[in-house]
Chains A and B, each alone.
Chain A
Amino acid sequence: MRHYLSLIVYLAICLLIIVIFQQNWLNAYIQIVMMFIGINIMLSSSLNLINGYMGEFSCGHAGFMAVGAYTASLLNMGLFTTSSIFGRSLFIGPQYSVFLFPVTLIIAGFCAALVGLLVAVPSFRTRGDYLAIITLAVNYIVKSSIENIQEIGGARGFMGMRQVVNAMNNVINIPWLMIWILAFAGTSIIALKRFVGSTYGKGVIAIRDDEIAAEIMSVNTQRVKLIAFMLSSGIAGIAGGLFAHVIGYINPGTFTIMKSTEIMVMVYLGGMGSLSGSVLSAVLFTVMLEFLRPLQLFKWVLIPLLLIILMLFRPEGLMGNRELSDVFPGLRRFFPSKEY
């Protein structure tokens, strides 16, 4: 029973959120902000695996998000809707989107993980600044490739994902998107937590602390790096797929270095190597962005300024390598630790 306490609490919160959405107790704007929070949690925690736990500097996370966003959107549009690009829906009607939507998201995650290989394979030979440049290049490769494929809208972008959401709502009218965001965000946090909590996953931390020692003392660094990069980019891909369906319109301009920087800010704000820090900062940062909206473009002066202040006075971030349960030991009863 105690073992599942944290899960039960999470499910209760999910249920509460879904009921609130269902009853429309909150206005549509706040609902969308909440969905962004969920997506940002996935993005920041997945990037934390690379930037925080592995100590590499990946600044192209938006590229993987783009791959996921486009894959999920294309699959869903092609399968379930009649659109100008794909013509009639392929072989199955819109009503099946209810079951197949998560499947398309997982496929999107796989595609993003495959693109993650573009970073993972060079990471065998380079690290640090050089790898950072490679991640930047991958971000641009993805963005420019999408811009140059006219069939999917090129630079003009791609829309119509609303139809998929509407198709799902036509079958059963519940807030499907929020449900899937909650489900995938929860799953990815659990997956990441279990991964970095296992001795196998701690190989990632060993690489950060001392790669030479890791390699000589029996860690298969290539395989560990491969898994870490693919896991991280896969989760980013799923987040991208959800993002596309929340907004209903995607264009390559959304997934630039600007977006990558936003994700990075969340990771550094939350603290390197702290999953609860990433979750906390994703919530804080998304809410802050919305509150600063009246400042319009000036928020992009203010937020980097905040980053400078953060780096000067608390470079380890809000949580800095600790989890929430380290700061508030009382929380431990929700997260029973393994005893061997």
Chain B
Amino acid sequence: MPLLELKQINHFFGGLQAVHNFNLTIEPGELIGLIGPNGAGKTTIFNLVSGFYKPTQGDILFHEKSIIHLKPHQVTSLGLARTFQNIRMWNSMTVLENLCISQHYRMGYSFMDAIFSTKTYHEHEKAVVKRAMEILESLELSEAAGEYPKNLPYGLQRRVEIGRALTIKPSLLLLDEPAAGMNPSDIDRLIELIQWIREQFHLTIWLIEHQMKVVMSLCERLCVLDFGQIIAEGSPSDIKNNPRVIKAYLGDEEADDDAEN
């Protein structure tokens, strides 16, 4: 049973077609990459899946149920979490508070409980903080709990953002360019982290990435997007040798690739 199915997705921004007949099926447990040149429509696809945009045409099935009519927070509550290309934390609150708020959808109390400080309120609040601390501990971030995210080094901010996504108890995690702006040693740690959370939390991961090192060492399957259309799909080694991909995307980066491999 596929975890996520995108069927014949077309998306327009006014007259511009950002996504063209996009089809993809993700099986549980996969680690799949989406690559493509800038402006190919990768982030648009993530925004469509997370419910931020409604596709002009087509259907998206998560656990075999259509999610295109749901609001973003409802999609999240089904177990579909994501991170953002440019880290989007709530910077006026501490790391711990950030990880608590992301559990907002399963807050089992109403605002009245909070105002009257009822028993339900305290129970749920405790559970939320406990969950957040568990995640922070497992990611070795418990020392950062009281810090403000913007004061953390960039690599840690990424870790915190991934932690925030994990509080949702996701079955599918979308990572939008997790390695963007990182130095090589950060990237190595990120690769380890992604492999580790995948096993630890039994995740299916779908990631967008420009860093060939990340894509090639992590992904089992790759999907190459150009002008909103899939131009190639397959294992990393197939993709590397695909002439269409080289032409569209890797062509101008061949030298870099050789250096990395």
Binding site for B on A (CB under 8 A): 190-191, 194-195, 197-203, 205-206, 208-210, 212-222, 227, 231, 273, 321, 338, 340
Name B130's closest neighbour in chain A (CB-CB): A340
List 10 A–B pairs whose Cβ atoms lie within 8 Å, in order of A's numbering: A195-B115, A199-B97, A199-B100, A200-B107, A213-B90, A214-B101, A215-B73, A216-B72, A217-B101, A219-B104
The CA-CA distance from A338 to B125 in the complex, in Å, is 10
| Interface membership of B76, Cβ < 8 A | yes
| Interface membership of B227, Cβ < 8 A | no
Count B-side interface residues using an 8 Å CB cutoff: 40
State whether B111 touches A209 (Cβ < 8 A): no
The CA-CA distance from A191 to B114 in the complex, in Å, is 8
> CB within 8 Å of A: which of B23-79?
50-52, 71-73, 76-77
The CA-CA distance from A219 to B51 in the complex, in Å, is 13
Residues on B with beta carbons closer than 8 Å to the beta carbon of A218: 73, 76-77, 102-105, 168
Choose among A199, A216, A321 the residue that contacts B125 (Cβ–Cβ < 8 A).
A199
CB-CB under 8 A for A200 and B90, given A194-B115, A216-B52, A218-B102 = no
The CA-CA distance from A202 to B96 in the complex, in Å, is 12
Name A338's closest neighbour in chain B (CB-CB): B125
Residues on B with beta carbons closer than 8 Å to the beta carbon of A202: 93, 97, 100-101
Among the listed stretches B81-89, B189-197, B249-257, which one makes contact with chain A, having 4 or more residues with CB under 8 Å of it? B81-89
State whether B104 touches A220 (Cβ < 8 A): yes
Q: Which of B92, B125, B130 has the most CB of A within 10 A?
A: B92
Binding site for A on B (CB under 8 A): 50-52, 71-73, 76-77, 81-82, 84, 88-93, 97, 100-105, 107, 109-111, 114-115, 117, 121, 125-126, 128-130, 164-165, 168
State whether B90 touches A199 (Cβ < 8 A): no
Residues on A with beta carbons closer than 8 Å to the beta carbon of B121: 198
Residues on A with beta carbons closer than 8 Å to the beta carbon of B90: 205-206, 209-210, 213-214
CB-CB under 8 A for A217 and B115, given A199-B107, A203-B104 = no
Residues on B with beta carbons closer than 8 Å to the beta carbon of A219: 73, 101, 104-105
Name B174's closest neighbour in chain A (CB-CB): A216
The interface residues of chain A, by DSSP majority, are classed as: helix
CB distance from B113 to the nearest CB of A (A): 8
Residues on B with beta carbons closer than 8 Å to the beta carbon of A209: 89-93
State whether B73 touches A221 (Cβ < 8 A): yes
CB distance from A50 to the nearest CB of B (A): 15
State whether A201 touches B72 (Cβ < 8 A): no
State whether B126 touches A200 (Cβ < 8 A): no
The 5 closest A-B pairs by CB, nearest first: A198-B114, A213-B88, A209-B90, A218-B105, A218-B76
CB distance from A34 to the nearest CB of B (A): 26
The CA-CA distance from A211 to B76 in the complex, in Å, is 15
CB distance from A91 to the nearest CB of B (A): 31
CB-CB under 8 A for A340 and B129, given A198-B114, A200-B109 = yes
CB-CB under 8 A for A201 and B129, given A206-B101, A218-B77, A220-B73 = no
The CA-CA distance from A191 to B92 in the complex, in Å, is 22
Residues on A with beta carbons closer than 8 Å to the beta carbon of B104: 199-200, 203, 206, 217-220
State whether B73 touches A208 (Cβ < 8 A): no
